[in-house]
Structures are given as structure tokens and as C-alpha cells.
């Protein structure tokens, strides 16, 4: 229908153009004589012949009327009206000639004065247009804002918060899994919104604000929607960046408008996502001028949270992954009283999250979500949702009716390692890569307490030419020194295998050496696992890395040199241990390489079958477990895939 309307429009437009041509050139032009252009010498001849009755001169241009039709030459158009151009070298006897033959002479000013109406139009027209346009915008703004002093910012100052329908909540706590302790924390907020009198009769007050802190993808926004869905109250959601505009004062106006809407709909929930966009500390950076838009917006939020009573039933939820940069005024009691840390889920939590994201998927009988959860240590809710989606897409590409366990394995490889690359490698390169990855895999089986080797492959993926995947059976939150050394030994397995077999090393161990350096430095600087350095913590930025550029170092140059030497000592000792183990098990290493060259990829069961080992640590005496104290945070990331 849209196409028909478009065609009709063009037909009408074409008809109007044809009509305009007919009117201007046929109807109106038919009553006017045609004018022809003639040479100047022909004009002189016509004057001498007495055929010219009158002329009109404008500078050197001459138009005239003849008694009989004239033309520029034989076969040319003719007319009694003509026009010619007087050349600059022509003589000055033209007036005499015209007077002699009784030609009426008219003259026009070549530079006539501009009409008054044209002068007024071009002088005052643009100014009047701007004035009337500005007045129109002011009246529209005042009408939208209801008049008053704020009319000029009316439309800009309106909050763009999205209101979710409380009668049809799309998300409840049944859609949230893996973070049960956070759900329990927020149930009090839901209970208050449902039964506020239960708390008010005892003089209690629910927190005005709840700040959700966690890494990206852990489910902070999902939790906020679930709170609103469970409570059955209006839910105003907005991103903090939507408050900021180029016009100073708009952010504060939007904050006021948002809180006014929430009070009018109370009990209600206000959710501000990415709070750090406007809540950064005001002392963190130099600000120029007192009318900084971000600071005004932050001040307005502080004022609004102070200004409403908890009995109004308005609760502010906010989410951020940068709580360390927030202004202290936001975190004091009376503002965001309660701070809830949303941590990545453990294995049981990941299995529950996968169950939610696959509940509408046709799963094959061989799908084991518990196994998938054990292979995805460190993943958060958003990662697991992406994993389930990639598995469904993999099944769809195969044309299958169900999603199988292999689809999840393919999806996990694609997410962690990238898509498979079609590279043509020489037999020598394939063999070298196979020895590199087999070194990783074999040491992963030989080291006591090492994470199980789930898969080894020499198929290029992403930036890697080969990969060995190790994942823990259970999530680890505390690490012994023997486990950390085992991680280093396993990471150096590729380098050790290359030296053992070829006597030279390649660039394929770059990622491995990066992991080795990070773990060894943290052991020395952060965890006090060096006898020479002692039980001291020299970490400057909390993660064991070197001090930030320009920051004052908390230790001397002698200590820095000692740290470097201890890091090197740990790496050298682990490399020596890796070489010794591979030398003692050279037959298993060669068998694993042959199987890899034949099949490209080996699973955990195939690796154990080829090597003849039954469990990690076979043939090696277990090291004594280092004494451990409860950790306040997960100190080390899950084992990353080692690649060449």
C-alpha cells in the first residue's frame, strides 16, 4: 500500500510539472511575441533600411522592434522583436544613424536601485524569523512543562525513565538463580513494600537505598527487575548517563522529575543503572567552574534521597561495578544504607542458571548441566546465557531437533577460544604444536592436585594454534602453594616439551609465560610465599602487579631486586621440574602426540586412555598441602586455557 501511495505521489507531481509547463509556455507565452538574437551588423543594416521603429538600450545590450520580421540569417527564426549586443569597439555614430531614420530611442539604468520591499525582506527577514521561531519554542516548552519558571527546560527536564507495568511483571525471583544470598538480602525490601506497617509499628525503617555491587554480567539489573516483579509495584528504570545533557541544569531537572513521578506512584522502586556515570567522587578530578553538570546532577540526587521519608514507600536501587570511585556522600547512612555484593556464581549456582536459560530449549538426553557448570568456572550469568544461546545456534546449524552435550562443548570452545580457523600447517609445524600441547596436558595429569585436563586440541582457534583446557572439579576460593606451583609447571609444559624434543624454543609460549609471570609475582609480592622476601605484602594496587606509574613504591630498590630474583627462582624451579617429569614420561608424551596428530582433538577420557593414567597425579608423590586461612576474595582466576 505504501508503494502505491508513493507511485500516486510521483504521478501527481509529474502532472503538476506538465501543467506548469503548459501554463507558462503555451497559455501565457502564446500572447507574447518571440524575440530573436541578431548580429550587430544585421541590426545596422535594418536601421539603414528603415525597418527599425524603436530600441531600448541597457548598457551595451539593445532590444528593439522592427516593422517587418528580421532574422540572424537565411533559415533562422524570424520575429519583429529582436535583441543584439553592441561591441565595445563600435563607433559613436549610432545615435546619429538612429535619429536620421526616425527610430525611437529608450534607455534603462544598468544598475537600478533595489526595491524597498526587497531591502526590507533581506535585511530584517532572517532576524524576524529567528525571533518568531524562538518565541514559538518558548511557548511550546512552557506548554509542555505547565508554565512557570521551569518552562524553558520543560521538555529537556522530563525524565526518560521507563515504567514497567506492576500488574504484569516480566521478571520474578524465580528467574534469578545462583545468587541466593543476594535474593535473601533483597527479600526484606520486597517485604517492606508489601507490608510496610509490619516495620513501621515497631519504629523500624527500611533502607532508603540499596546499592548492588558486582562485576558486569552478574545479574544486578535482573535482580532489580525481580524485586519490582515480586513486590508488584511501579518500577522506574533509568541509566545514570541519561541524566547528563550538554545544557547545564537539565540533569538536575530530570532527577527532580523522576523522584516526583515515583512519589506520585508510591510505593515504587527507582532503579539507576551504572551509577558511577554520575556518582563519581567530586574530589577525584579537578573541576572547572561551579556549574558542572555532573556535579549538579549528583547534588540533586543527594538532596532528593535526603528529602523523602522512608514512609513514602519509595526505594532507590542502584547498580555499579565501580563502587571504589563513588562519592562518599552517596554511601553514607541515609542514602545508600545497604550495599549488596553480587558475586559470580559457584558451580551449583551455574547449574541453576543454565537450567533457567535452557528451560525453553529441547535438550537431548545426554545433556548434563552439572558437567557444563563444572566446565564454566568463573563465568557469570550473562556468560552462561550466551553459552546456552550459542549451543542452540550450533544445533540449529546442524539441522538437529535437540541441543546435545556436544553442542555445549562446541559453544564453550567458540566462546573461550574463538572460531575455528582454516589454516594449512606443514607437518613439522603440526608436530611441534602437538608436542607443545601434549606437554601441557601430560603435566596436568602428572602434577598432584592439578585441575583435570578436559580437552586438548591442535586445531587453530582465534589467536591460538592449539589449546589445552583444564577446569577444576569444584570452585576454588583458596590456593595452596603446591597448587600454584603446579599451575606454573603445567603452564611451562609446552616450553619444556619443545626444549626436550627439539632443543630450541618458539614464540608459541607467549601466553603461557604471561600466566607464569603473573602467578609467580603474586606468590612473592602478595601472598608471602618466598622465604627470602618473607611474610609481607608489597602489592601496590591490590593484585600483585607493579606500582602504578608515578605512584610511590612501598619498598626499596634492594627489595625490588630481591622480588625479581625470587620470581625468577620460582619460574626456573618449576621449569626444571617440568623437564624432569616429561623426561621420565617421554613414552607417554610421544603416545599423546601420535594420537593428537591422528585425531586433532582428544577428550579427557581419550587422554587418560592414551597415556595409561587413571587420575591426576599418578606416579608422583603428593606434596604436602600448604596451610591455608580463609580467603576474603578469590585470589586467582580459574585456570585459563594454555595455548601456543
Q: Is residue 133 part of a domain?
A: no
The answer to whether residue 404 sits within a structural domain is yes
Last residue of a domain, one of 289, 322, 342: 342
Residue 121 lies in a domain: no
Which of 195, 268, 258, 186 has its CA nearest to residue 224? Answer: 186
Is the pLDDT at 318 greater than 70? The verdict is yes
CA nearest to 211, candidates 262, 272, 263, 152: 272
Task: Classify burial at 99, counting beta carbons within 10 Å of its beta carbon; exposed 0-12, middle 13-18, buried 19 or more.
Answer: exposed
pLDDT tier for residue 413 given thresholds of 50, 70 and 90: confident
138 domain-assigned:
no
- Reported as a pLDDT band with limits 50, 70 and 90, residue 289 is very low
Does 169 fall in a domain?
A: yes
Ramachandran angles phi, psi of 611, nearest 5° = -85, -15
Q: pLDDT by residue (tens digit) across 48-61?
A: 888 888 888 877 78
DSSP 3-state of 52 = strand
437 is catalytic: yes
Q: What is the pLDDT of residues 103-119, one digit of tens each?
A: 888 877 665 666 776 67
Task: Check whether residue 483 and residue 375 sit in a common domain.
Answer: no
- Domain of residue 1, residue span: 1-32
Is residue 602 domain-shared with residue 465, that is, in the same domain?
Answer: yes
**314 and 387 fall within a common domain:** no
In this structure, the dihedral spanned by the alpha carbons of residues 599, 601, 603 and 607, taken in order and rounded to 10 degrees, is: 60
Which position has the higher pLDDT, 540 or 49? 49
Q: Who's near 334: CB < 8 A, 6+ residues apart?
A: 208, 305, 306
Please determine, for residue 316, whether its predicted confidence score (pLDDT) is greater than 80.
yes
The count of other CB atoms within 10 Å of the CB of residue 528 is 14
Domain-ending residue, one of 282, 312, 342: 342
Rounded to a whole number, what is the distance in angstroms from the first to the last CA of the chain? 59
- How many angstroms separate the CA atoms of 46 and 65, rounded? 11
Cβ(261)–Cβ(314) below 8 Å: no
* 8 Å CB contact between 405 and 366: yes
Residues 391, 450 share a domain: no
Which listed residue (295, 437, 498, 566) is catalytic? 437
Region 306-328: what's the mean pLDDT? 76
pLDDT for position 576: 92
3-class DSSP state of 140 = helix
**Claim to verify: residue 442 and residue 520 sit in the same structural domain:** yes
Q: For the segment 551-598, what is each residue's pLDDT rounded down to a tens digit? A: 556 788 888 899 999 999 999 999 999 999 999 998 888 889 888 888
**Cβ atoms of 230 and 190 closer than 8 Å:** yes
In a domain, 134, yes or no: no
Q: Give strand pairing partners of 420.
A: 461
Q: What is the pLDDT of residues 113-162, one digit of tens each?
A: 667 766 777 677 677 777 777 777 666 655 544 444 444 444 444 555 55
Q: Tens digit of pLDDT for each residue in 471-517?
A: 777 667 788 888 899 889 989 988 999 988 888 888 888 888 999 99
* Between 354 and 169, the higher pLDDT residue: 354
pLDDT of residue 53: 86
Q: Higher confidence at residue 203 or residue 229?
A: 229
Assign residue 381 the CATH number of its domain. Answer: 1.10.8.60
Tell me if 455 is assigned to some domain.
yes
- 168 & 229 share domain: yes
Name the helix (H) or strand (E) containing 79: strand 78-85
| Same-domain pairing of 406 and 447 | no
- Nearest-angstrom CA–CA distance, 321 and 344: 13
Residue that the C-alpha cell 536601421 belongs to: 47
Domains held by the chain: number: 5
Report if pTM > 0.85. Answer: no
The reply to whether omega before 267 is within 30° of 0 (cis) is yes
Q: How far apart are CA 429 and CA 134, in angstroms?
A: 73
- Where a domain ends, among 379, 397, 417? 417
Among 68, 45, 69, 43, smallest CA distance to 56 is for 43
Q: At what angle do helices 557-584 and 427-446 cross, to 10 degrees?
A: 100
* Other CB atoms within 10 Å distance of the CB of residue 600: 14
Cell of 11: 504521478
454 & 536 share domain: yes
Question: Does 199 map to a domain?
Answer: yes
**pLDDT in the model for residue 567:** 92
The secondary structure of 242-287 as a DSSP string is GG--SSTTHHHHHHHHHHHHHHHT-SEEEEEESTHHHHB-TTSS--
Amino acid at each position: 500500500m505504501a508503494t502505491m501511495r508513493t507511485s500516486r505521489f510521483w504521478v501527481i507531481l509529474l502532472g503538476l510539472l506538465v501543467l506548469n509547463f503548459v501554463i507558462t509556455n503555451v497559455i501565457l507565452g502564446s500572447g507574447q511575441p518571440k524575440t530573436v538574437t541578431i548580429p550587430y551588423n544585421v541590426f545596422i543594416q535594418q536601421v539603414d533600411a528603415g525597418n527599425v521603429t524603436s530600441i531600448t538600450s541597457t548598457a551595451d545590450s539593445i532590444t528593439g522592434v522592427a516593422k517587418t520580421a528580421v532574422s540572424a540569417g537565411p533559415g533562422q527564426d524570424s520575429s519583429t522583436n529582436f535583441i543584439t549586443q553592441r561591441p565595445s569597439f563600435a563607433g559613436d555614430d549610432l545615435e546619429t544613424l538612429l535619429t536620421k531614420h526616425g527610430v525611437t530611442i529608450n534607455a534603462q539604468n544598468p544598475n537600478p536601485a533595489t526595491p524597498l520591499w526587497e531591502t526590507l525582506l533581506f535585511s530584517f527577514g532572517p532576524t524576524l524569523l529567528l525571533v518568531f521561531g524562538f518565541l514559538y519554542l518558548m511557548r511550546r516548552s512552557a506548554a509542555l512543562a505547565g508554565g512557570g519558571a521551569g518552562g524553558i527546560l520543560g521538555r529537556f527536564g522530563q525524565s526518560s525513565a521507563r515504567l514497567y507495568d506492576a500488574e504484569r511483571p516480566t521478571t520474578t525471583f524465580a528467574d534469578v538463580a545462583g545468587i541466593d544470598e543476594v535474593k535473601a538480602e533483597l527479600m526484606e525490601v520486597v517485604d517492606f513494600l508489601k507490608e510496610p506497617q509490619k516495620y513501621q509499628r515497631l519504629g523500624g525503617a527500611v533502607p532508603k537505598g540499596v546499592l548492588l555491587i558486582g562485576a558486569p554480567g552478574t545479574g544486578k539489573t535482573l535482580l532489580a527487575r525481580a524485586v519490582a516483579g515480586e513486590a508488584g509495584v511501579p518500577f522506574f528504570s533509568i541509566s545514570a548517563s541519561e541524566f547528563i545533557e550538554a545544557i547545564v541544569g537539565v540533569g538536575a531537572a530530570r532527577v527532580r522529575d523522576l523522584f516526583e513521578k515515583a512519589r506520585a506512584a508510591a510505593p515504587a522502586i527507582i532503579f539507576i543503572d551504572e551509577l558511577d556515570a554520575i556518582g563519581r567522587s567530586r574530589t577525584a578530578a579537578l573541576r572547572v567552574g561551579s556549574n558542572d553538570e555532573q556535579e549538579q546532577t549528583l547534588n540533586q540526587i543527594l538532596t532528593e534521597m535526603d528529602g523523602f521519608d522512608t514512609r513514602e514507600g519509595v526505594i532507590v536501587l542502584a547498580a555499579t561495578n565501580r563502587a571504589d570511585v563513588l562519592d562518599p556522600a552517596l554511601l553514607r547512612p541515609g542514602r545508600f544504607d545497604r550495599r549488596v555484593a553480587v558475586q559470580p556464581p559457584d558451580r551449583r549456582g551455574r547449574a541453576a542458571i543454565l537450567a533457567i536459560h535452557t528451560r525453553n530449549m529441547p535438550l537431548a538426553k545426554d545433556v548434563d548441566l552439572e558437567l557444563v557448570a563444572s566446565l564454566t568456572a568463573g563465568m557469570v550469568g550473562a556468560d552462561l546465557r550466551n553459552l546456552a544461546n550459542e549451543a542452540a545456534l550450533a544445533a540449529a546449524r546442524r539441522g538437529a531437533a535437540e541441543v546435545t552435550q556436544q553442542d555445549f562443548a562446541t559453544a564453550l570452545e567458540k566462546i573461550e577460544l574463538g572460531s575455528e580457523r582454516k589454516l594449512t600447517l606443514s607437518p613439522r609445524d603440526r608436530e611441534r604444536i602437538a608436542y607443545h600441547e601434549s606437554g601441557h596436558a601430560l603435566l596436568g595429569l602428572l602434577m598432584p592436585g592439578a585441575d583435570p585436563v578436559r580437552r586438548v586440541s591442535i586445531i587453530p582457534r582465534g589467536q591460538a594454534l592449539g589449546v589445552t583446557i583444564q577446569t577444576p572439579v569444584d570452585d576454588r576460593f583458596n590456593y595452596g602453594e603446591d597448587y600454584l606451583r603446579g599451575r606454573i609447571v603445567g603452564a611451562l609444559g609446552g616450553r619444556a616439551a619443545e626444549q626436550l624434543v627439539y632443543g630450541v624454543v618458539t614464540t608459541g609460549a607467549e601466553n603461557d609465560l604471561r600466566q607464569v609471570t603473573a602467578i609467580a609475582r603474586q606468590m612473592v609480592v602478595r601472598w608471602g610465599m618466598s622465604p627470602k622476601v618473607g611474610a609481607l605484602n608489597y602489592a601496590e594496587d591490590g593484585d600483585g602487579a607493579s606500582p602504578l606509574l608515578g605512584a610511590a613504591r612501598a619498598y626499596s630498590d634492594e627489595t625490588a631486586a630481591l622480588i625479581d630474583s625470587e620470581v625468577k627462582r620460582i619460574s626456573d624451579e618449576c621449569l626444571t621440574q617440568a623437564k624432569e617429569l616429561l623426561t621420565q614420561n617421554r613414552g607417554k608424551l610421544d603416545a599423546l602426540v601420535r594420537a593428537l596428530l591422528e585425531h586433532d582433538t582428544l577428550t579427557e577420557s581419550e587422554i587418560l586412555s592414551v597415556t595409561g593414567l587413571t587420575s591426576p597425579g599418578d606416579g608422583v608423590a603428593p606434596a604436602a598441602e600448604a596451610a591455608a586461612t580463609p580467603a576474603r576474595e578469590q585470589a586467582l582466576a580459574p585456570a585459563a586455557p594454555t595455548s601456543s
